[in-house]
Structure 1
Amino acid sequence: MPASGHLDPRLLRAFLTVAEELHFTRAAARLYVAQQALSRDVRRLERELGTDLFVRSTRQVALTADGERLLPYARRVLDAQDALLAAFGQARPLLVDLNYRGQATARRVLHRARELAPEQELMARYESGLTGAAGELLAGRLDASFGRFAGLDPALRAGLEHQLVRYEPMAVVLPGDHRLASRETVPVAALAGETVYAGAGNPRTAEWTDLARRLFDGRGIDVAPPLPLAVGDEEFQRIMAKSGNPILAVVDFPAMPGTVTRPLVHPVPLSPVSLVWRKGLVHPGFEVLRRAARELSAAEDWLQVPPDGWFSATDVVMRHPSY
């Protein structure tokens, strides 16, 4: 042990991040530090503890037996530090996943929370889907996310809580020359015979693909098979233009060049959006985020259901907001 009997929490956070990523480059990116500085902190911790914590090779990074032994202690120490700082108004940033950069509901909630508490640091992240974010929430690498809670695997839901925020009306994004593009709205039945992209094959958005399959079941609409997984808006738009498939979306989906977005009707399919967090989360910014979600839900009538609104069977049981 170090002569002073003291361990710098920064060194423990460096260790924990590398242990979670098992990759120094990714860990450095998460901590917003240079990889050289991160490696230096880990080596310093190893010297102070008098043991190797990682086995390093050109191909992989793995925990040693002592690294595995340190892991639960490091988590408890850092959780306690975060709770202490939060209690005295010095909380770390609250990491809020918005799914994707154009997600209007999540973005509006985050912006409202920043207005309510400008002294709090609420930082946006983009995991692309709630299924992808759920593992990050449970591991403590994210604090909150948004999406269809009922679409998560029950094993993931067991460690999470949610607050219903909005029933988002669904839409279809069509190529500009599509046979349905001239309509102001698109009846769901008019999609019969179409193959519609809904994220199939993307492990981060499984809850969305599941909702699409439930909506299309028995209506003669096919879910498009997996496409190359695009990273970034530009690549996504290129892949979609190349495939020519309509895209299942929500009414606030950001505009894409060469396409039109049309609300779905008869019925109006609804995608329930919840604020989702891990059980036991304590952070002053989080309570502000929940307040912002409640305020916007009420002010915008986000939880009103149209007369011909449609829910999947699994979402019906989640139709009561949690406060």
Structure 2
Amino acid sequence: MDLDLRLVRYFVAVADELHFGRAAAKLYVSQPALSKQIRRLEDQLGAQLLVRDTRHVTLTARGQQFLGEARRLLAIARTMQQPAQPDTVRMAHVFELDTSREVADAYAARFPDVALTEHAMDSAAQLQALLQYRLDVAILRISPRMLVDHPAGWEHRLLRLEPLVLVGGPTGGDGRAGTASLHEGPLDVFGDPPESGSYNAHGDYLRALERDLGVRLRWLGTPGAFSHCLARISRSAGRSRFLEFASYARRYAAHGLPLAWPREAQPYYPWSLAWRAEPPAPAVADFLHLALTESAARGWTEAAPGAAGPPWLPPDDPARSGTGDPTA
């Protein structure tokens, strides 16, 4: 059987979108033509790959298996058409947060002859880019939905539990310096709410915190750059309290803003290292090894020394099984 790579690309596009209309637009073909080509591929393989009705598209068990095979096949085809780049590692950063940058700095210092290509992507975009062979490694927050949508083709390890701290506003009146209650009025968060249309893995985490801890959040959207976040917090003039990453909080403190550890529970934001489920190139293998070594040396998966409350992660967070349950 001669497998048409064009049909394989069409199938991967539909599997990524789980929507024929969006996939057709992405491929610049009509939806009826795309449906016809997918049926042709299924006829060639002698198996149904997709289950479709008027509202949903899902992968069959054979479709899930074939998706991993299809990605590898397309990657091989791209490699054959392009010159090899053995000394390149492609990665991405989530805004200006520290974890991926510190790993990149350590890697560049240890392997100065490797070209480190860096991009800016949120967690969901990183996973898509990784599976589509546009990134070699990802440092991201893995949501339960990601594991459902992409059950195969990649591997991951917990890299860091980054504490969230309170910035600005009152620090509480119980005499315990450096702590504050999560329940003294609403907390402002830089995140996109579920109804925004740009809800992502960060929003998924904040929504779980809101439900599980009974915290009231005010969603402010995602300014992105630290300078915009700093301006927003500074404009509040102490009237609001913000729940923020430790990566940003240290920089806020340098501008004179007060910080406090949450009293009732200590939220940790889980960052994971992800790569494709295939033998990595030597430069990528070195990156993975160095990232996990840095994590261990920095104590990134341990409780923060100044934390006041017991550790918290979303009840269904995949990080609970990354290196054992960190909240146990």
Q: Deviations over 1:222-271 (max 9, x none)?
A: 222453x5354444444555577533222222524564443334432222
Q: Is the 8 A contact 1:165 1:294 kept in 2?
A: yes
2: distance between equivalents of 1:270 and 1:146? 16
Q: TM-score, normalised by structure 1?
A: 0.63
| Aligned partner (choices 298, 302, 318) of residue 321 of structure 2 | 318
Instruction: State the 1:180 CA deviation.
Output: 2.8
**Residue in 1 that maps onto 2:107:** 113
Q: Residue deviations 1:250-300, cap 9 Å, x none?
A: 222252456444333443222221112233363322111111122112212
Task: Output the amino acid matched with 1:255.
Answer: R
In structure 2, relative to structure 1, the CA distance for the partners of 1:280 and 1:181 (3 Å cut) is farther
Match of 2:88 among 86, 93, 96: 93
**In the alignment, does 2:141 pair up with 1:148?**
yes
Q: Is the 8 A contact 1:121 1:285 kept in 2?
A: no
Q: Identify the residue that residue 191 of structure 2 maps to in structure 1.
A: 199
Q: Distance in 1 between matches of 2:315 and 2:210?
A: 13
Q: Is the 8 A contact 1:196 1:246 kept in 2?
A: yes
- TM-superposed CA distance for 1:167, in Å, is 1.7
The question of whether the paired residues in 2 share the 8 Å contact of 1:138 and 1:278 is answered with yes
In 2, Cα distance between the equivalents of 1:139 and 1:245? 42
Q: Please give the residue correspondences for 1:1-323 in structure 2 after superposition, counting only pairs within 5 Å.
A: 63=28, 76-80=76-80, 85=84, 90-91=85-86, 93-101=88-96, 103-127=97-121, 129-158=122-151, 159-174=153-168, 178-180=169-171, 185-187=178-180, 189-201=181-193, 206-217=200-211, 219-225=213-219, 227=221, 229-230=222-223, 232-239=225-232, 241=234, 245-253=240-248, 255-256=251-252, 257=255, 259-280=257-278, 282-305=280-303, 308-315=310-317, 317-320=320-323
CA distance in 2, matches of 1:110, 1:92: 15
Mapped to 1, the partners of 2:184 and 2:298 lie a distance apart of 33
Letter in 2 for 1:132: A
Matched position secondary structure for 2:86: coil
Q: Deviations over 1:72-99 (max 9, x none)?
A: 98754223466x83xxxx4263211121
Q: Equivalents in 1 of 2:138, 2:156: separation in Å?
A: 9
Deviation for aligned residue 1:152: 4.5
- In 2 relative to 1, CA 146–156 (structure 1 residues): closer, same or farther, beyond 3 Å? farther
Q: Which runs of 5+ in 2 are unaligned?
A: 1-8, 14-24, 38-69
TM-score (norm 2): 0.62
| Cα contact 1:96–1:145 (8 A) shared by 2 | yes
Mapped partners of 1:219, 1:135: distance in 2: 31
% of aligned pairs identical?
A: 18
Q: Report the Cα distance in structure 1 between the residues aligned to 2:323 and 2:171, rounded to whole angstroms.
A: 35
Deviates more, 1:229-238 or 1:131-140: 229-238
Change (3 A) 1:284 1:62: same
Query: CA-atom RMSD, angstroms?
Result: 4.0
The count of residues paired between Structure 1 and Structure 2 equals: 253
Secondary structure at the residue paired with 1:94? Answer: strand
Give the drift of 1:130.
Answer: 1.0
- Residues 132 and 204, structure 1, Cα contact 8 Å, conserved in 2: no
CA distance in 1, matches of 2:212, 2:163: 20
Q: Do the aligned residues in 1 keep the contact of 2:182 with 2:264 (CA within 8 Å)?
A: no
SS in 2 for 1:230: coil
Residue identity matched to 2:89: L
Aligned partners of 2:147 and 2:321: how far apart in 1?
A: 13
Deviations along 1:120-147, whole A, 9 cap, x unmatched? 11122221x3123222222222222212
Q: Which runs of 5+ in 1 are unaligned?
A: 1-15, 21-59
In structure 2, the residue matched to 1:37 is: none
